[in-house]
Amino acid sequence: MEQFFQQVVNGVMVGSSYAIVALGFGLTFSVMHVLNLAHPETAMVGAFAAFVVATLFTTNLLVVIPLAVLAALLAGLLIERLAIRPTRGRHILTSFIATGGLSIVMQNGAQRIFGVDPVRVAVQVEGVQTVGGVIASNMQLMTFGLAVAMMVGARYYVRNTRWGRATRAVSEKHEVAQALGVDINRVSQLTVGLSTAMAGAAGVSLALLHSQATPFMGAIFGTKSFVCMLVAGNRHIEGIMFVGILLGVLEALVAGYISASLRDMVAFGILVLVLYLRPAGIFGSYEHD
């Protein structure tokens, strides 16, 4: 039983990172109607930024995390300018390929700079918390706290701020929002920037949890987040949080009790199951007709 709860706790920690990346996917999709395939690469950028800062300058988390988030944010703004803005309002496949091309560039660019092998991110947070035999490291708790904070922040932004409301207006209908004087380019930047900054934070979290970063971490990670977003629906912040954490937990349990090699199949399993059970229902929010 202890082992079970331990797996659950580990799963929740990883899953919250899935959820953060999925949230950005969903936010960008619902506002800009663009599938940003380069989105998970910004998590990778965040992870490598953490590596660079920690190796060259300082391992102080209060410096490492903000700089990593900043790097991901800048990468996101670049993606927005290069591939999202020019493809806005076009067929979904256009943005798919434009951002997919950038994703290939980013993966291989990182490989060119840092090599294929994982690099070690040497930042440590000492100490663990133990509750009834179940252990959670302070590092885990910290990244989880970060994820929750971002969830709450994103929710507040979309619901309660002026720009958040403009964002929602744009997500309904671009022409109408434009007629009402909303600057769509600005909303696009804000949305992608916010999404990728969160992804950057998730990337750092992963780099810290696993003490490493690899050029292709975005690809694996991104697929799973994408599935979370699809299963939960792109507009449901709480739903994405829930599905992300659920996926993390299921993966941990499958890896712990069945076989580690099946871990990466869990996401696809969920996807197939959901497609089978309610093929149309959950995706109602994808109609943009």
Q: By CB under 8 A, name the binding residues for other proteins.
A: 35, 82-83, 86-87, 90-94, 96-109, 111-112, 230, 265, 268, 271-272, 275, 279-280, 283, 286-287
CA distance 50 to 64: 6
Nearer to other proteins, 132 or 281 (CB): 281
Nearer to other proteins, 157 or 283 (CB): 283
Nearer to other proteins, 72 or 98 (CB): 98
DSSP letters, 116-183, are SSPEE-------EEEETTEEEEHHHHHHHHHHHHHHHHHHHHHHHSHHHHHHHHHHH-HHHHHHTT--
Least Å from the CB of residue 166 to other proteins: 25
34: left (phi over 0), alpha (psi -120 to 50) or beta: beta
8, 240 Cβ separation under 8 angstroms: no
Nearer to other proteins, 93 or 180 (CB): 93
**Residue whose tokens read 């949230």:** 23
Least Å from the CB of residue 134 to other proteins: 33
- Per-residue b or e along 159-179, where b marks 16 or more CB atoms closer than 10 Å to that residue's CB: eeeeebebbbbbbeebeebee
CA distance 261 to 37: 25
Least Å from the CB of residue 228 to other proteins: 13
Least Å from the CB of residue 198 to other proteins: 22
Least Å from the CB of residue 108 to other proteins: 4
**Please, which residues bridge with residue 136 across strands?**
129
Nearer to other proteins, 6 or 94 (CB): 94
CA distance 91 to 68: 33
Nearer to other proteins, 100 or 193 (CB): 100
Least Å from the CB of residue 22 to other proteins: 14
- The strand pair at 212-213 and 119-120 is best described as antiparallel
